[in-house]
Structure 1
Amino acid sequence: MVSVCTTCKGLQKHLKALDGADAESVTSTWVNTTIPTLRHSTNGGCRACAVLLQGILLHHDRFEGVKEENVRIKAQSFDTSKGKDAQDHLSVEVRWKELGDGCDDGGHEHEPEEDTGYPDLKLEFFTNQDGQSPFSAIGRGRHISTNPLQDSGLSTAKDMIKECLSSHTRCRHSQTTTLPRRVLDVLLDDGSKGVRLHESEWDGDSQRFEFGEFLTLSHCWGSGKAVLKTTTETIESHKKLIPWSTLPRTFQDAVMLTRSLGFRWLWIDSLCIIQNDPEERLRASYHTDQIFSNSFLTIAATSSADSNDGLFLPKAQPYKIQATDSKGSLFKIYVREQPSHYSFKAPFDDGAHMNDWELPFNPSAEANMHTPLLKRAWAYAERLLASRVLHFTKSEMILECREGYQCECGRIDNSTYDSRTTDSVKQEFARIVEENENKGRIPNGNGTGNGNRIDSVASQLAATSLADVAKDLTQKREEATQLWSYVVTEYTARDLTYDADRLVAIVGIAKMLSQNLKSGYIAGQWTFSTLGLLWHPNDGTRTRRTQVQGIPSWSWASLEGSPISFDDSMAMDLACTASFPAERGRTQAWSPTTGDRLELTAAMATDVQFRIDGDSEYSLVKNGVSVEFRPDVIPLRGDDVVASGETLTCVLVCMTFRSSIIGLVLQQSKTDTQVYRRVGRFESYDCQTDSTEDEPEDAEALLGHWFPEVEDMTQLDDGPQRTFIVV
């Protein structure tokens, strides 16, 4: 009688069933062991363990230098009867982090520890489409195209787009789209000669009225020097012909894909915007929301760092392993690393709400290396605005749309195969924008929509009370503000070639959210929200003040070098309000790329002494009581230099649910005593009485120490207040 391998059950499903496998489970675990045990089973004659060991060691460079006894192996297969999305491959997780106290001093294997988090390496063992395998746990693998322009690759792309169009209402265009001012005509009579720049007809008010469906390209420019551009000198020749040989490889690939998908028009920023005309570039940036949201498809060169890299990068081919069955017949087993989905996945497991995410979402060096486009700020904005984005990565095509993801391996949005949280900011952005559009349609007497927006209050009084309008606006503002803070954090974690684009590249997103917020917008700040001023850099040691003119110190865009985070909720308002002189006499102010001054009116504002406690350590002191302080720029330099002992002004804004007090720290101008600039935001969890060894008191005690004159915190609105002009 042939003995059955106790390590892997021979990867035979009928033997696993005899082992009492859970019939309700989607997954079956075959192996949970270490490399030495696999070696032992292989040496004992187990053909299945030999295949696993060989496939793992083919990727030995990934864990080179790690002791083999610390390399844990877990192999699982999936029940294909559980649904149409079930897959037949064998998934093998490899982990090599040091185990806690699992040292084996007796030559015996310890009980496996519980695996947590995503594995260090994830492999799949599979057969080709004939499905022949000596091991029933190893079945067919998903086909991943090597060239998206070939029949199978093009068919996959079309199928993903078709699924999006047929199933997702948010991704469909509700009306015929108009062409951008300029697009590339890719269907010349002799396409091998090149393409030409087509300029749409415009009416007297500079409004486009030429209709048509078009595609857009999102790409990294790279150094920028070699990128083909349209300028005032080349525009006329580009209208006649842009020779094929002059197009960078990424542009050529995008043109061929556009043709293959059956479209005529393609928009590429460097060719469709006159690059040496500053006014046109600024005007075009104001229309990015229309360009990308109206585009049928955005083609993303996600893994290409330069426009010469191309769209379709070579993919690593799977290894082939020869295996035999019990009769000695030969079979081919393939093994490859499972697509990691790069920056679209978090390093933590599924289930966390967006508000609880660690931000930025996935800043890992590996993700940035494999998806350089996703590290660019312009591309981030384009990605959110587009109805659907077809990402071309080093491992597969990924379609990201307003309602989810699809990929060639079929696992990106399926927690059975990848338990990590998927970045859903694009879907949340689309949901909020769509809800605003739907709520804006106020019903009339016969039950049909009249198309009016919610700010047309007079037209809806018969059916809706002012209280309902205010409640609805408050709810929409809360949702949109939370999303905006997330977007800014992610956006500021990404790279820009030019500081001047800091507020320009995000204008399209602000325009689309403005209908929800019903607010003025100045230099990145929504004017209705004082809390929006409580931003702070994640790492002040990496920051510097921008040299771009017109960006005030109170704007998050005044800092470069670090992601910016926000405080969007509070437990108690400390009677601090912000107003913008630019809005006086107007319904709303809209100045998206520059700002001047704001007026900060506060009941709890006081002068404090700034103190340098050590290398990059600072505090604020008053009445012998101090709190720690982290300025916006560390160490202090340039316009942010503050001398130890200098007087600053601390403006308390709110108390939080974290039992902390948050405020802004201002420095008075040396040339105009009526004007201040922001030095930083501070958050106090406790305060310390100096020259004593007493334990620190909680943050609430600070109010009594710094503001002994305030006897009733509930009467702050009726008490004396100070107003500061902040620039």
Structure 2
Amino acid sequence: MVSVCNTCKSLQKHLRSLDGGVQETDAASVVWVATTLPNLRRSTDGGCRACALLLQGILLHHDRFAGVTENNIRITAESFDSSGPVHGENAQDHLSVEVRWQKLHDGCCDGEGGEHDHEEGYPDLKLEFFTDQDDQSPFSAIGRGRHISENLLQDAGLSTARAMIKDCLSRHSSCRHQKPTTLPRRVLDVLLDDGSKGVRLHEADFDNDEQRYEYGEYLTLSHCWGSGKSVLKTTNKTLQAHKKNIPWSALPASFQDAVALTRSLGFRWLWIDSLCIIQDAVLEKHEASLHIDRIFGNSFLTIAATSAAESTEGLFLPKPQLFKIQATDSKGSLYKIFVREQPSHYSFKASFDEGAHMNDWELPFNSSSEANLHTPLLKRAWAYAERLVSPRVLHFTKSEMILECREGYNCECGRIEDSRFDSRTTDSVKQEFARIVSQNGTHGDMANGSSSSNSDKRIDSMASQLAATSLADVAHDSILQRGEALQLWSYIITEYSARDLTYDVDRLSAIVGVAKMLSETLKSGYIAGHWTFNTLGLLWYPKDGARTRRPKGSPNNHIDIPSWAWASIEGSPIFFDNSTAMDLACSASFPSERGRDLTWSPTSGDTLELTAAMATEVSLQIDPTNEYSLVKNGISVEFRPDVSPLRGEDSVSAGETLICVLVSMTFRSSIIGLVLKQSESNAQLYRRVGRFECYECQREGSGDEPDDAESLFQHWFPEVEDMGAIDDGPQRTFIVV
């Protein structure tokens, strides 16, 4: 008679049907264990070798749940059908063990190993038990798994990287360069023939200030500068020396690893910002910032030091420990089982329903403290833009390599896009961005920048292209594509504004490359981060006004960002309202576009002329807790300013008059508008101090139920008798700076 463990069915596939207890969740998954840690201990004490193996592997990670009451620790063990998307020599038959100790959900295990519903959300700890590719296991539920490289250049990791890149090139047409690629003005030559390990700075020839383009494939490095003290830089003083030789010992660890990887992959050229841009040449730095779409978009591969907070840390950081456990079968034969924490995929995944559309995401996508801790590069604004415009990015994280390209992801563990192993949604903004851009062919033309015409070489080439575009040309574009591009832009700005910048002056510069690649679809003027055709784009708002401030300039770097632009706010993610149920006859125009040409002013501001049929003076009220409201005719609505408390140029005292401009009524049955403050120095000018959204309005001093938002029209605008005729009524124009 075979003795079968009720807790785990002895992790034997041929025994799983005995006495029930093993759940066939679907055709590709089997849940073997659904219990608590104390119950697993009891089963181990009862002599179950399989439970003993699970317990040992879990306790090897005890530091992760130290101090947690063991009765609150739940264990689930699950195996997968290896005949799915991952098959052949790359098949994975590991056992996945989830450990949870956070708040218990409804339907979780009862501690006795009975019926167990899968709990929502990613587990607090996820382990995998597996054998080497050719090794045997005493438990048929534990099969082979994948090893993850410790050092890319010292083991099979280089083959894995090459295989992922080869797979991308062979299957993804949008990831391939359609034209010969041009080298940036300066690149590092990593294949010196002098026998040293050093590199030199290669500079393209110039004739009468015109660059003679050179062609070739190169790699780029995306990295955190950290404090900046450890970053090796090229300056006017060191330029000539760097063109001769940069000693290996002078390169910080991340640079050394990037150079070694470039050589190992068979490339000669590598671009690193701190070395390939003269750091004390202000104009050159500004020009380079406007061309990251070319520099990174033209790169064969961007190497990302994703888990390194400083350039001294290197690419190949220590991985979570891989444990080896000796297990025995019923005859006492020894076997080797590996246990490790499953790669979490960090900021690339978030706990939404599998395949959820971006409209259903909670933004920013995954801003958890754990994700930010393990992937500091992904918290940087410059790196976010570099990541979007690059054809493919090879991320080096604390757990594995992850290849992110224009059509998807790949990773060393092979599971990032396999819902059997990780059902969370994968961040697809880069892929959506690539899809929209490719509809206009701008991967090959704008990003490559391979044209030899003079206009393409000038810093104002984008301005030249847009100035030749008439507003009437927009009629030939697809309305659907334009709407998708605008929606995507709002997601990108929310993510971008949630990330950190060392210098406020870079606020608009770092996103220019992304805007350039979308401009062919949007066919719009672009001023200080705003697409001029889109009045609703002015209805941005910070997620948390209590954490915001206006950008700071410096004696050498004046920041010219108007108050109406989203980039005039630092410290909080910026959100947008892109849909409206009713236009309240409000329009925006820019003096620079009066000639009907589209303006391209990516890093500086302009005055905005806001013309509205429904604009009125209101009084500001401030309660003792700094809650704000706007009042007229005894009717008040809540107001959240862009900067709270109101201070500096936004300073407004209680009782002062503000201008409230109604812009639209939304499908949420709310009314949205802008709140303006008259300039103290020029009565003809106004500054934006915030946006308001009215869901209901309250009569002051009344205990009655609030009225709905639509009643605001009759309370604040009693003179408007026919809302359907507001377009033909009187209008007011405000010049907003």
Q: Deviations over 1:364-401 (max 9, x none)?
A: 11001100000000000000010000000111000000
Residue of 576, 587, 594 corresponding to 2:597? 587
Ranges of 4+ aligned residues in structure 1 off by more than 3 Å: 17-24, 82-86, 100-105, 107-114, 202-205, 438-441, 466-469
SS of structure 2 residue aligned to 1:118:
coil
Residue of 25, 38, 50 corresponding to 2:40? 38
Shift in Å, 1:44: 0.8
Shift in Å, 1:653: 0.3
d(CA) in 2 for partners of 1:315 and 1:103? 32
**Counterparts in 2 of 1:114 and 1:126: CA distance versus 1, 3 Å:** closer
Question: Retained in 1: the 8 A contact 2:35–2:114?
Answer: no
Shift in Å, 1:97: 1.8
Shift in Å, 1:100: 5.8
Residue of 626, 629, 636 corresponding to 1:616? 626
Q: Deviations over 1:249-280 (max 9, x none)?
A: 11011001000000000000000000001100
Shift in Å, 1:205: 6.3
Shift in Å, 1:347: 2.9
Identity of aligned residues (%): 73
2:337 maps to which residue? 333
1:163-202 aligned at under 5 Å gives the runs 163-202=167-206
2:153 maps to which residue? 149
Moved more, 164-173 or 348-357: 348-357
**Counterparts in 2 of 1:481 and 1:115: CA distance versus 1, 3 Å:** same
Residue of 72, 76, 92 corresponding to 1:87? 92
Question: Retained in 2: the 8 A contact 1:178–1:208?
Answer: no
Q: Is 1:315 equivalent to 2:319 in the alignment?
A: yes
Shift in Å, 1:24: 5.9
The code of the aligned residue for 2:178 comes to S
**Counterparts in 2 of 1:287 and 1:101: CA distance versus 1, 3 Å:** closer
1:555 maps to which residue? 565
1:381-530 aligned at under 5 Å gives the runs 381-437=385-441, 470=475, 472-530=477-535
1:357-372 aligned at under 5 Å gives the runs 357-372=361-376
SS of structure 2 residue aligned to 1:705:
helix
**Counterparts in 2 of 1:388 and 1:641: CA distance versus 1, 3 Å:** same
Shift in Å, 1:439: 13
**Counterparts in 2 of 1:325 and 1:108: CA distance versus 1, 3 Å:** closer
Structure 2: runs of 5 or more not aligned: 446-463, 466-470, 554-558
1:596-675 aligned at under 5 Å gives the runs 596-675=606-685
The code of the aligned residue for 1:651 comes to V
Shift in Å, 1:108: 5.9
Shift in Å, 1:641: 1.0
2:290 maps to which residue? 286
1:689-708 aligned at under 5 Å gives the runs 689-708=699-718
SS of structure 1 residue aligned to 2:441:
helix
Shift in Å, 1:167: 0.3
d(CA) in 2 for partners of 1:471 and 1:652? 31
SS of structure 2 residue aligned to 1:192:
coil
**Counterparts in 2 of 1:625 and 1:281: CA distance versus 1, 3 Å:** same
| TM-score between the two structures when normalised by the length of structure 2 | 0.93
Moved more, 184-193 or 601-610: 184-193
Alignment length, in residue pairs? 706
Question: Retained in 2: the 8 A contact 1:117–1:349?
Answer: no
d(CA) in 2 for partners of 1:439 and 1:330? 56
Question: Retained in 2: the 8 A contact 1:677–1:726?
Answer: yes
1:71 maps to which residue? 73
2:124 maps to which residue? 120
The code of the aligned residue for 1:405 comes to Y
**Counterparts in 2 of 1:612 and 1:208: CA distance versus 1, 3 Å:** farther
2:51 maps to which residue? 49
Question: Retained in 2: the 8 A contact 1:370–1:393?
Answer: yes
SS of structure 1 residue aligned to 2:201:
strand
In angstroms, what is the RMSD of aligned CA positions?
2.3
Question: Retained in 1: the 8 A contact 2:35–2:112?
Answer: no
Question: Retained in 2: the 8 A contact 1:102–1:110?
Answer: no
Question: Retained in 2: the 8 A contact 1:687–1:696?
Answer: yes
Structure 1: runs of 5 or more not aligned: 442-454, 457-465
d(CA) in 1 for partners of 2:65 and 2:699? 52
**Counterparts in 2 of 1:108 and 1:327: CA distance versus 1, 3 Å:** closer
2:255 maps to which residue? 251
**Counterparts in 2 of 1:429 and 1:204: CA distance versus 1, 3 Å:** farther
Q: Deviations over 1:508-545 (max 9, x none)?
A: 00110111111111111111110010000000010001
Q: Deviations over 1:23-70 (max 9, x none)?
A: 961001100111111111111110000001111111111112221111
Shift in Å, 1:471: 6.5
Shift in Å, 1:17: 4.6
d(CA) in 2 for partners of 1:615 and 1:263? 61
Q: Is 1:712 equivalent to 2:722 in the alignment?
A: yes
d(CA) in 1 for partners of 2:388 and 2:702? 53
The code of the aligned residue for 1:144 comes to I
| TM-score between the two structures when normalised by the length of structure 1 | 0.94
SS of structure 2 residue aligned to 1:49:
helix
Shift in Å, 1:191: 5.0
Q: Deviations over 1:189-222 (max 9, x none)?
A: 1353411000012455634521000000000011
The code of the aligned residue for 1:14 comes to H
d(CA) in 1 for partners of 2:105 and 2:400? 36
Question: Retained in 1: the 8 A contact 2:662–2:671?
Answer: yes
SS of structure 2 residue aligned to 1:614:
coil
The code of the aligned residue for 2:706 comes to P
d(CA) in 1 for partners of 2:365 and 2:112? 41
d(CA) in 1 for partners of 2:85 and 2:561? 54
Residue of 29, 32, 49 corresponding to 2:31? 29
SS of structure 1 residue aligned to 2:714:
helix
Shift in Å, 1:110: 6.8
SS of structure 2 residue aligned to 1:4:
coil
